[in-house]
Structure 1
Amino acid sequence: MDNKHSMISLKEKLAELLEIIPKQSHIVYADYPLYGNVGDLFIMKGTESFFKEHGIRVKNRWNPDNFPFGRKLSKDTIIVCQGGGNFGDLYPYYQNFREKVVQAYPHNRIVILPQSIYYQNEENLKQTADIFSGHPDLYIVTREKASYQIAGNAFKRNHIRLLPDMAHQLFPILPTRASSSRKLRFIRTDHEANEDLQKHMHTKSYDWNTVLSTGDRRMIACFQTLNVLNKKAGNLLPMAYMWEKYSAYIVRKAIRFFSAYESVETSRLHGHILSSLLEKENTVIDNSYGKNANYYHTWMEGLPYARILQESARKKENLPAHL
């Protein structure tokens, strides 16, 4: 196998971020995820691990619900936005937040960590490009070739990079329980589900909402409510610290859940990435707009324990809208 496609080299490649977020730099982590998408929590944990390993000093951690717009930042402070798959118009709340940050801090470097880009409406993409073009020091890091192409076409005045998902920083992850011979079918059930590829599956499957217990979901809702109330009170409570502790429990729970299976079939990108971090055999099923296939063909093709469903491979040209 070509070393450029090994899990070790994917983690090492993330060190290229130091060219734009230097060691010992001071940053604000602008939009950590405070919700129950466990894949995004793996991204957050990988991001925090990267900061720690490279001596990057996090001055503040905020999320979109409590970010203090209007607070002045020193010009040497870098604003870092969470990576993931919510860049575009499928998740307007988070995209609107990033655009507002870009407009509010024209004198600070802003780095958007590795993202997949998808717009259903080209006018929305043009609107984002108009906003982003006004910032002279904005870095958009994409996490697969299709998004890199879109960003290169749409955001010509910004700096564009291509790097793997931040969860690769967590490699290796050791299983925390013995595995059986069972196969885990981990299939998304939201609006990104690819019904054509999943329709053949009549066996029992799981998703993040079934990994989380009712108590977990209630606790997450309590965190979200407390977070809003805390902002109204002046952000007196250390919400980021409290969430770091609870989200670490959720991530450990997900690792333990996946550890129990010998192999995985999944339409969740982070079902695929987590399985690969555990070095478990896994089969990738594409999502509704090509994100999983694009990621697989950019970084994961050639891994001895990962493959893609053939129907997904034939759909790899299912790319997002572009200018």
Structure 2
Amino acid sequence: MNTLIKSLVPVAYKHRIAARLNAQALTLPPGPRAFVFLAADYGNVGDMAITAAQVNFLKQQLPHYHIVTIAVDQTRALIRSVRRQIQPHDLVTLIGGGNMGVMYPDIESLRQLVIRYFPQQRIVCFPQTLDWDDSPLSERTLRQLVKNYARHPNLHVFAREITSYHKLRALFSRYPNVKIGLVPDIVMSVTAAQLASQNPVQKAHLLRCLRADKEAALLSVQYARLDRALMDSGLKITLTDTVINADQLDNEQCASALADKLSQFRGARLVVTDRLHGMIFCLLTGTPCLVLANSNQKIQQTWLDWLQDQPRIKFVKTEQLHQVPSMIRELLALPQGPLDELALSAHHYQPLEQAINHFPSAHYAITAKPQQYIA
């Protein structure tokens, strides 16, 4: 009977009850504050990099503000305490990344919770990829997303590639209160040196950093073909990932894991990856990189929008796998780049700066000039 009753209670209602039962008090620093909600405290090193880069960006833009991170797992427990203390001059930001839309419903639900809880605050959602498809579930998810976002009077949502940007512009075309902008993934706004990456002496191996989850795109026969080409390179192959087996990490543990991963990428002569932040880690560490597509548009469109002129980053389409051996030779002939130089011009982030510093704009300018657009 208890099981039957539990099954009839809506999930949203269960979340509200759990939030009240587990509510915690948070002592906030005095003075103006900028909040980073949904900060990474779990084992995705790419998301750790997003959190670190977002904090760094806010510190540069708002030097007199205290930056307060709210870990994703602590959102429901702390959100009431933050709402009781928040002041009109405080800024609410939501984490960037690739968890907007249908693929990661738990995080999307928390994003909408934060938007509902702070109707009086200016909210800036850092650059995201929107994930959707033609399924009924995706249609329902997008309707709910639009409903909750559109209720907020001062919401600024940034896409990190132009496919998501066009979709978001279409979804919110009737809601001028939801401003849509386009800037690169926030991790490209920092250098590897700023994230404490080291410079290993030995650089003799090939790093294979490929997904084994629902975003993987290749067939088993294609992976086999790729692996043969990697073995033919003659380099020792090291397997890695941008996800580690860890959870509920504190800030120091996240910083250490991120620095270690960047140093591992810096220590490779070549990286082969289908992870967006695998590609971006190569960009930051100056390591030649062969990039494969994942299951949605985020890697290929990010490369098209921002990175196709980077000589150390080569994107290979599925139908181009036969060219992998020659691409590997070309990449191995390139020297590594520096750790302390920005790969992208800072002007690409000007629309985000405007949103953070409260320079209202009807439309944010687009600085990307893609050659192609993945519809």
TM normalised by structure 2 equals: 0.66
**Partner of residue 269, structure 2:** 262
1:201 aligns with 2:232: no
Task: Report the alpha carbon displacement of residue 318 of structure 1 after superposing the two structures with TM.
Answer: 5.4
Tell me what 2:38 maps to. Answer: 31
Q: Percent identity?
A: 24
Alignment of 1:231-246 (within 5 A): 243-246=250-253
Distance 2:273 2:315 in 1: 10
User: 3-state SS of the aligned residue for 1:146?
Assistant: helix
**Are 2:87 and 1:74 aligned?**
yes
Larger relative contact order, structure 1 or 2 (CA cutoff 8 Å, min sep 6) = 1
1:89 aligned partner, one-letter code: V
Q: 2:145 aligns with which of 107, 111, 128?
A: 128
1 CA distance for matches of 2:167 and 2:45? 27
CA distance in 2, matches of 1:137, 1:248: 32
Q: 1:105 aligns with which of 118, 124, 135?
A: 118
Equivalences, count: 268
Match for residue 169 of structure 2 among 129, 137, 152: 152
C-alpha contact 2:192 2:262 (8 A) present in aligned 1: no
Structure 1 portions without partners, runs of 5+: 1-23, 225-242
1:46 equivalent in alignment to 2:19 = no
Contact 1:176 1:256 in 2 (8 A): yes
Residue 152 of structure 1, CA deviation: 0.4
The match for 1:57 is 65
Residues in 2 aligned to 1:313 and 1:153: alpha-carbon distance in whole angstroms = 33
Cα distance per residue 1:28-63 (max 9 Å; x no partner) = 111111100001111111112212233162353212
Q: What is the CA distance between 1:102 and its match in structure 2?
A: 1.1
Q: How has the CA–CA distance of structure 1 residues 118 and 138 changed in structure 2, closer, same or farther, with 3 Å as cutoff?
A: same
Contact 1:179 1:262 in 2 (8 A): no
1:157-176 CA deviation, whole Å, 9 max, x = no partner? Answer: 21011011111122254652
**Which residue in 2 is equivalent to 1:183?**
206
Q: Which amino acid aligns with 1:64?
A: V
Deviation beyond 6 Å, 4+ runs, structure 1: none
For residues 48 and 100 of structure 1, the distance between their equivalents in structure 2, rounded to whole angstroms, comes to: 21
Does the residue aligned with 2:184 lie in a helix, a strand or coil?
coil
- Consecutive unaligned residues in structure 2, runs of 5 or more: 1-30, 232-236, 322-371
Shift of 1:199: 5.1
Distance in 2 (alpha carbons) for counterparts of 1:51 and 1:313: 40
Q: Is the 8 A contact 1:266 1:272 kept in 2?
A: yes
Q: Which moved more, 1:123-132 or 1:25-34?
A: 25-34
Cα-to-partner distance string for 1:104-140 (whole Å, 9 max, x where unaligned): 1111111110001112312211221111111110000
Letter in 2 for 1:116: T
CA contact (8 A) 1:27 1:56 kept: no
> SS at the partner of 2:208?
strand
Partners of 2:301 and 2:272 lie apart in 1 by 17
Q: Is the 8 A contact 2:33 2:68 kept in 1?
A: no
Q: Following TM superposition, by how much is the alpha carbon of 1:84 offset from its aligned partner in structure 2, in angstroms?
A: 0.5
Question: Counterparts in 2 of 1:13-32, with a 5 A limit?
Answer: 26-32=33-39
- Which is further off, 191-200 or 254-263? 191-200
Deviation at 1:187, TM superposition (A): 0.4
Equivalent residue letter for 2:212: T
CA contact (8 A) 1:42 1:251 kept: yes
- Tell me the SS of whatever aligns to 1:208: coil
